[in-house]
């Protein structure tokens, strides 16, 4: 049996995230073309990587139909001009699709089946709303396997507010404002732009254009403005469009490789994968998923939460992030320092690699931080967590 090898994150990029709908950035842009743009940019940015050395392309999509179907990892690899010898496949774990694409190919690299792989995700929620074409088995409800609210993500967030009454709507709104403020500052400081891929867009009305920045952020968000928003999932509820991630379109991708192969090829590794874990929870409170997955990942790594200097937590809903922080007693200063999905958007299966790309960039600025976490809640009651080590760090 081969010995396990270290796996490193080499580079990550993404398209700007657009708002879904007929007026959104990508309303008339194909999902697979967004993935093609990401793959081509990864190859362009890393000329030391011969395309034929890519051993696998794993691309996630939650709704695998239409332009997100046809085994999108393989079809996008061919469309991107990678050699036909490079295989690919599609993967689905709802919101954690891209995260699972990374951990799956990383397992193959550690085992010795691959040397280098491209992993990422795409979601065109404007063309393919979450749940399009699905036919949930009636036994879920008839046999009371899940609460009816489990199938509506916003209702699961309201359930979290019920479970944690100390997380008030005011706390959730305040967290959302901070996310918008941090994202605006990160943009102003030029921290987000280096990993955005300018992406060609076209509409019948306006013709050709170029997407160069995220469409979703609302830097003028205020507590007063959020206080007056409707609560669509429950009368007099807590969850609003302002303290939740939006409905978005976008694609992400990254290069992961065996540490020794990255060194051989002259690829600059940015962080090392330490451990990862996925966990299941009751689907009706899916937002608590990152708690057990993080506990397991820490245990596998032999680390304590106090060892973690940076957290990239996907902001599906503010209440879900706050529940995670309260459980572990985490200082919010360590969390999403450049903002999160409440500002940038959450194109479901693509978001995991956005977290990783942002963490890798932060590691480059924080040599004092040794370990970081990327984590997210997942529809149908799951959580996913990956622990990374800062290769350029000097923390003992």
Task: Give the tokens for residue 116.
Answer: 């280098």
- Tell me, yes or no, if 254 is annotated catalytic: no
Count of CB atoms within 10 A of residue 106's CB?
A: 23
The answer to whether 290 touches 327, Cβ cutoff 8 Å, is no
Q: Which of 124, 128, 238, 346 is catalytic?
A: 346
- Tell me, yes or no, if 377 is annotated catalytic: yes
Q: Which residue has the tokens 């790309």?
A: 357
Q: Smallest Cα–Cα separation from 155: which of 385, 396, 381? A: 381
Instruction: Report which secondary-structure segment, H or E, holds 250.
Output: strand 248-258
The answer to whether 79 touches 36, Cβ cutoff 8 Å, is yes
Q: Which of 124, 161, 238, 377 is catalytic?
A: 377
Count CA atoms within 13 Å of residue 388 on its CB side.
36
Helix 318-328 to helix 290-301 angle (10° resolution) is: 40
Q: Which of 95, 128, 238, 254 is catalytic?
A: 95
Query: 10: helix, coil or strand?
Result: strand
Which residues participate in catalysis according to the annotation?
95, 346, 377
């Amino acid at each position: 049996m081969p010995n396990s090898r270290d796996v490193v994150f080499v580079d990550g990029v993404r398209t700007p995230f657009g708002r879904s709908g007929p007026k959104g950035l990508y309303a008339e842009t194909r999902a697979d073309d967004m993935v093609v743009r990401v793959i081509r940019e990864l190859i362009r940015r890393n000329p030391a990587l011969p395309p034929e050395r890519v051993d696998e392309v794993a691309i996630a999509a939650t709704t695998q139909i239409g332009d997100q179907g046809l085994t999108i990892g393989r079809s996008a690899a061919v469309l991107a001009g990678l050699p036909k010898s490079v295989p690919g496949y599609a993967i689905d774990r709802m919101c954690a699709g891209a995260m699972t694409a990374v951990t799956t190919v990383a397992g193959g690299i550690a085992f010795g089946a691959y040397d280098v792989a491209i992993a990422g995700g795409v979601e065109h929620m404007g063309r393919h709303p979450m749940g399009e074409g699905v036919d949930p088995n009636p036994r879920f409800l008839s046999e009371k396997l899940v609460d009816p609210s489990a199938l509506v993500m916003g209702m699961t967030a309201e359930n979290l507010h019920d479970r944690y009454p100390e997380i008030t709507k005011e706390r959730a709104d305040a967290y959302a404002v901070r996310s918008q403020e941090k994202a605006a500052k990160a943009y102003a400081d030029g921290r987000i732009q280096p990993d955005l891929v300018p992406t060609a867009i076209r509409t019948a009305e306006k013709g050709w254009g170029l997407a160069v920045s995220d469409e979703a952020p609302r830097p003028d968000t205020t507590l007063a403005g959020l206080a007056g928003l409707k609560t669509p999932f429950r009368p007099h509820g807590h969850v609003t469009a302002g303290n939740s991630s939006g409905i978005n379109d976008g694609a992400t991708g990254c290069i992961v490789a065996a540490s020794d192969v990255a060194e051989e090829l002259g690829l600059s590794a940015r962080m090392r994968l330490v451990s990862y874990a996925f966990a299941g929870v009751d689907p009706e409170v899916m937002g608590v998923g990152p708690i057990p997955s993080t506990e397991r990942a820490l245990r596998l790594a032999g680390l304590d939460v106090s060892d973690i200097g940076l957290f990239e937590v996907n902001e599906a809903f503010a209440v879900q992030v706050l529940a995670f922080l309260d459980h572990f007693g985490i200082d919010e200063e360590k969390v999403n320092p450049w903002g999160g999905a409440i500002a940038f958007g959450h194109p479901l299966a693509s978001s995991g690699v956005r977290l990783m790309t942002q963490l890798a960039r932060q590691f480059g600025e924080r040599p004092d931080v040794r370990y970081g976490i990327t984590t997210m809640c997942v529809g149908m009651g799951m959580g996913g967590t990956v622990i990374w080590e800062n290769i350029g760090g000097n923390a003992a």
